Chain A
């Protein structure tokens, strides 16, 4: 494969990829379908922001956000059946069971771990150290500005954490498991080694825990934009949306079987962060995964970072010891 030159690099030499919005297929159907799959994303985003902006204090809380999150994902699952991007990404019973197992771990065991040694502890420490008065300059800003800043700072942190995972072997080991997924569906974002899921959860969102409404609005950015990273739905996303926000197209390229393509589109929500740092590629891929698309079993997903880490340590230090003995 010859590949396609994008800036200083050549992508698509190992697996087929599509580059450029003009080459990406559009939604096919009648005017209603075209309207729905063009405007669904912006309408949902603005609806969620408006909801959290005006929701009475009695319902503006995390449990409501969880319920909305679950309801939204069920709706998106239905859209996967109505207008799939690729038939080869169809959700099967086995895929659903696998994905929900990881979602379940996230809601139970990982939440417990975060409660004791993760983001909850960080949030408590920060709350203990500072008083809300120390942040009056921030809490006095308009709510939408607060929310946008929180979302931006959080995504900026996620960008570098994610880029670090692709560039530093100890972080790549737990993250690599997530790159063995071979199709994108609505719960695929939860699939990965628990160590990675814990690390990703260590976001700086906890820093803003004392600003509930602004945090809830910023969560709407994550839900109504970031969720589309892993989904099997074809949208005609508006041009401004594709320029600012991460899309399925961007993230499918990030999951491509082509190594060079995986080193692009690291941001979770705001793709313009990738544009700023020169890692954005506008395009998409259908063939996803590692090792030519080998589907990893749950057992291997659990042990992979440890077995490969141990092998790498033995290779490195075993060789060194052998050399010093000679």
Chain B
């Protein structure tokens, strides 16, 4: 199976034009602080930088990415930085949505085996109300049947469906946001005046 059709899910690929005349060394020097982070290993050759991250800090500017390749191509129009970054976090978020759908289906399956609650044998007690509560105007204790109260405790797949939706939205947001953030960060490092 050719993963290129689906690997956009956890890969971010893009390119960025460098300032005219900016050398590979100069460009990578400017990007260097991004890779001098806890848990980051990187290797630089003339036109290429390869990095990997493990247990990266939460506030690492590239914490979403776990590995990547940055290359500088010398085109006719000027040097261009091409990058390809891998993110386990994006893949995880993408898979979390079907995972919670699965949990929802599992909840439905399990709830089929739930025995109906037997009729309450004990008579509901007459709940006393303290005179202080009466004086302060609190509502009388609830004397409705117990089955009504138990509705909150039934197993339902609703929460799992909601979380499946939340992760689908979070994935779309993250895929767009992190793509733009890393491009803006590279741009800031490479093109800002020293």
Which residues of A are in contact with B by a Cβ distance under 8 Å?
53-57, 60-63, 88, 90, 92-97, 100-101, 103-104, 107-109, 111-112, 115, 120, 131-133, 136, 139-143, 182-183, 212-213, 293-298
Contacts and interface: CB of A to CB of B under 8 A. Distances in A.
| Chain B residues touching A, majority SS | helix
Contacts of B107: 108, 112
Contacts of A88: 59
A103 B194 CA distance: 44
Contacts of B163: 100, 103-104, 107-108
Contact of A295 (B58, B141, B160): B58
A94 B89 contact: yes
Interface of B: 38-39, 55-59, 63-64, 88-89, 92-93, 96, 100, 103-104, 107, 110, 122, 124-125, 127-128, 130, 132-133, 136-142, 144, 149, 151-153, 155, 159-160, 163, 166-167, 170, 173-174, 177-178
Given A92-B58, A213-B141, A111 B159 contact: yes
Nearest to A141: B130
Contact of B58 (A62, A101, A140, A183): A183
Contacts of B133: 142-143
A92 B170 CA distance: 12
Nearest to B128: A140
Given A61-B152, A97-B92, A112-B107, A142 B130 contact: yes
Contacts of A212: 142, 149
A100 B166 contact: yes
Contact of B125 (A56, A60, A61, A136): A136
Nearest to A145: B130
Contacts of A100: 163, 166-167, 170
Given A108-B107, A120-B153, 9 more contacts: A57-B139, A62-B153, A94-B89, A97-B170, A107-B159, A133-B125, A140-B128, A183-B58, A295-B55
Nearest to B159: A107
A296 B55 CA distance: 6
A113 to B, nearest CB: 11
B114 to A, nearest CB: 9
A97 B173 CA distance: 11
17 contacts: A88-B59, A92-B59, A97-B93, A97-B167, A97-B170, A104-B163, A104-B167, A107-B159, A107-B160, A140-B130, A143-B130, A182-B58, A212-B149, A293-B57, A295-B56, A295-B63, A298-B92
